[in-house]
Structure formats: C-alpha cells, structure tokens
Amino acid sequence: HGIHAEPTTFGLKMAQAYAEFTRARERLVEARREISTCAISGAVGTFANIDPRVEEYVAHKMGLTPEPISTQVIPRDRHAAFFATLAVVASSVERLAIEIRHLQRTEVLEAEEYFSAGQKGSSAMPHKRNPVLTENLTGLARLVRAMAIPAMENVALWHERDISHSSVERMIGPDATVTLDFALARLTGVIENLVVYPENMRKNLEKLGGLIHSQRVLLALTQKGVSREDAYAMVQRNAMPVWRGEGDFRTLLGQDKDVSAKLSPAELDELFDLSYHFKHVDAIFARVFGKA
C-alpha cells in the first residue's frame, strides 16, 4: 500500500529475491526440458514415408526426446509454456527492480543504484539521481511478457499445421530470450553495486513515532481480556493523533486511562522493543539458504 506497517529487514527482502530467482532457475530448467523434443514424422505426423527409428536416432544424437505424437510440427503448447516461463522470470526481474525504485525514492532513500562521478540522472535537473537501470528493467519485463501472448496464440494451428506461427516465432524466439538474458545481467549488476543506507532505514522506522508497534499493543490488550473490537478502538484513538504528527504513540498510550488500566508502563515499554519483530529472522534465512 505504500503505508508503514510492521518492521522487516533489508536482508529478508534480498532473501526473498534469492528464493524467487532460485524458483525461476528451476522453471527455466524444466521449460528447456519440456521444449527439447524432436519430430521427424512426415507431413502430417504419420511416419508414412520414414521409419520412426530415424526420429529416435536423430533425437538421441541431438540430446533430445522423440515427440510422442506430432503433426508436421511439434505441438506448440510446449513453446507456449517456454515463453510463459520467460514471462514469469521477467516479472520477477521487474518485482525486484520496482522494489529498488521505491527504496530509492527521495522520501525513502534506503537503497539506490550506484551513481558514478559525473553521471547524469536528468538532462534538465542536475541534482537528480534517477533509478534509470531499474526503470529500464521494468520496461524490458513488459516486452518479454508481451511476447508470451503470441506464443500462446500459436498453439491453435489449423489441423496438422498451418504456417501462421512461423513468422511469430522468428521474432519472439530471439527477442524474448536475448531481452531476458540482458535484463538478468543488468539486474545482477544493479544488485552487485547497490548502495544501501542502514541509517535511513532506522530513521524511517522511527518516522511515525512508534506506530509500527500498534499490532503488538492490540494483541497485548486482547490477552488482558479486552475484546478485539474495543482493543482496536483503544489503540486507534491513540494512533491517529500520532499519524497527524501530534505526539508520540508510547506517551499517548501511557496517558490513556483504559490502556494503562490493562498494561503497566513496563509492559508498554516491552511492546515497543524492535528486536521482537526479528526473533525468527535467522530461521527464515535457514529455510532459504540452508538448501543453497
């Protein structure tokens, strides 16, 4: 939503991307396996003028699998799945690129693309450090996704084959693969040279005067016997002034008679302990990287 929620870590963001691209690699391997078939079965796939053993021999020599049943061509659902996989991987590229673009926003600035001395971010405004590489990646992802649609439309050929797919594949085959390869290489460079600002992350966590701990307060009140609806109202009425820049969340909660009747000052202080949110981070990392 673009609205502060609860704390997370930059490491978790990167771990999520690592896990996503691990899946992407697995999908690419499977897509390549599925499309690696061979068909030498004649004009309509009946082997009328050639022995099936020829197809098997050629397939073996080329490291392919004989297509179980073909027409004049290999069924294009295989190709559609391949291009769909490229589109999914491109979307993963875009997701990480957009994450970096948001982190580079002026009011956030928790990370940014490397900006070399003398580099221009804007031809008109010399002060700007625009995320040009990740913006470029967003555009490239759109192109790769767009090429998945004609690949799917190629599935429905007439009878044993028409030639409508040929002109499409001559374009999308090289364009989709080269574009995605370039995008992945560019994204790798962005991540390798990414500039990270931990101090700004801390400042942003503190920007809303403790509101990021609101759910902990809500749950603590319910554990003290307050109904969830009443607890929500108690927390929200103290949160909204802070949202408007009128005070500190912890202070307002301590001054609320209904809240202080249920939670002691020490209990309230404990609810604002930032480390609480990160107690299981290592377990998540173990899940992600333990199998690497």
- Take residue 200 and report the two structure tokens written for it: 């700004």
Q: Are 209 and 251 in contact (CB under 8 A)?
A: no
Catalytic residue chosen out of the listed positions 1, 127, 159, 280: 1
Catalytic residue chosen out of the listed positions 60, 122, 166, 167: 122
* Known catalytic membership, residue 36: no
Length of the chain in residues, anyone?
292
What gap in Å lies between CA 138 and CA 140, rounded to an integer? 6
- Take residue 107 and report the two structure tokens written for it: 């009011």
Burial readout 6-41 (b: 16 or more C-beta within 10 A, e: otherwise): eeeeeeebbbbbebbbeebeebbeebeeebebbbbb
What gap in Å lies between CA 215 and CA 212, rounded to an integer? 8
* Known catalytic membership, residue 1: yes
Q: Which residues contact 87 (CB under 8 A, 6 or more apart)?
A: 144, 145, 147, 148
Q: Are 133 and 186 in contact (CB under 8 A)?
A: yes
The residues annotated as belonging to the active site are 1, 122
